[in-house]
Amino acid sequence: MTQHLRAEIDQVAEASIAALRAPSILNTQPWRWRLAGNHAELWADRSRQLDGLDPDGRLLLLSCGTALHHATVALLAAGFAADIARLPDPARPDLVARIRQGQPCPPDNRLYRSIYRRRTDRRPFSDDRPSQAVLDELRAAAERHGVHLHVVRDDQLTAFASAVAHAGDVEHGDARFRDDLLTWTTRTREDRDGVSARSAVPAVRRTIAPRDFELARPAALDPGPGTDRGTVYAVLAVDAEEPADWVAAGEALSDVWLTLTAGGLAASPISEVVEVVAVRVALRRLLGGVGHPAIALRVGVPVDGIDPVPASVRRSGTDTIGPPGQ
């Protein structure tokens, strides 16, 4: 193997390691990386798909999309563009992407630093509203992936809040949804995945409550003094409902989230509204012509001086990154 090829593999291997920090639905981390020749393959891991919450695998592909974008950010920090073939083989639909080191470019660390600072922050945010300039930046980040970011307008907020509440009620009344929550909130320390009580907040008065994980143990993250009065709710929407659109939505979610983290903001996704089909359809109608909702997100200014949210667990590279065919 030439020195040159070795260096290429090292860069994509490094990128796949950074991508392990990507966010995923219920922290399922439904991906596998395979290092092959001078490129890496990102595979969807169907054994980690949620039967109740995500029977079509939309959120699974969205989660793989966040990992793919994280990898491109890591390559960019090393001074290379990413050369990506998305869903390159129709005969193997779980092969999400093939990624290789592209042209050299000036190293860009801005979003790379956010990979390690980003958290799902479910606490109420402050009274301050994210500025219009930042929201425009987030819209541009989504559009880079052909995905539209729609900020829920004040006159749409009550209907949006009802949609979130209704989706939560439907899910808590359905054994299949509850099974998924139970499985992924009771993982062992060795599993290194799932959602733990350390990242969940107890119920407090607020317009839109984050998902109730029905945890066996009390939610342990102090909600702090935030009010959510300045919080902005946004929906990422796609033009079509194909696997490629969910991957793109995941890349956009990652880009938006790392961008807002770099700008000192915080966020947490709201995916209940797309998990329940009737609510997803109603949300599409409510937003009127922006496309198919892929995921919603609350975005806000963290309360001044508040502690960072603890980092959530991840599986190791040994468990998720390997040679081809395994």
Ligand X SMILES: Cc1cc2nc3c(=O)[nH]c(=O)nc-3n(C[C@H](O)[C@H](O)[C@H](O)COP(=O)(O)O)c2cc1C
> Which residues of this protein are in contact with ligand X, per CB under 6 A?
23-27, 59, 62-63, 66, 119-120, 122, 195, 199, 210-211, 268-272, 295, 312
Task: Indicate the residue type of 116.
Answer: Y
Q: How far is the CB of 153 from ligand X (least distance, A)?
A: 22
- CA-to-CA dists, residue 222 to 26, 205, 247, angstroms: 20, 14, 33
Which residue has 């995905």 as its token pair?
Answer: 147
**Is the Cα torsion angle 285, 290, 294, 299 positive or negative in sign?**
negative
**How many whole angstroms from its chain centre is CA 237?**
14
Q: How far is the CB of 157 from ligand X (least distance, A)?
A: 18
Quick one: 270 or 287, whose CB is closer to ligand X?
270
Quick one: 11 or 199, whose CB is closer to ligand X?
199
- CA-to-CA dists, residue 296 to 58, 201, 204, 305, angstroms: 14, 19, 20, 26
β-pairing verdict for 232-238 and 292-300? antiparallel
Q: How far is the CB of 15 from ligand X (least distance, A)?
A: 18
**How many whole angstroms from its chain centre is CA 321?**
20
Residue nearest to ligand X according to CB distances in the complex: 23
Quick one: 294 or 301, whose CB is closer to ligand X?
294
Q: How far is the CB of 9 from ligand X (least distance, A)?
A: 27
Quick one: 100 or 122, whose CB is closer to ligand X?
122
Q: How far is the CB of 41 from ligand X (least distance, A)?
A: 20
Q: How far is the CB of 195 from ligand X (least distance, A)?
A: 5
CB atoms within 10 A of CB 226: 24
**Alpha helix (H) ranges present in the chain?**
3-18, 58-77, 110-117, 132-143, 154-172, 175-184, 243-262, 272-275, 277-287, 317-320
Quick one: 39 or 119, whose CB is closer to ligand X?
119
Quick one: 38 or 178, whose CB is closer to ligand X?
178
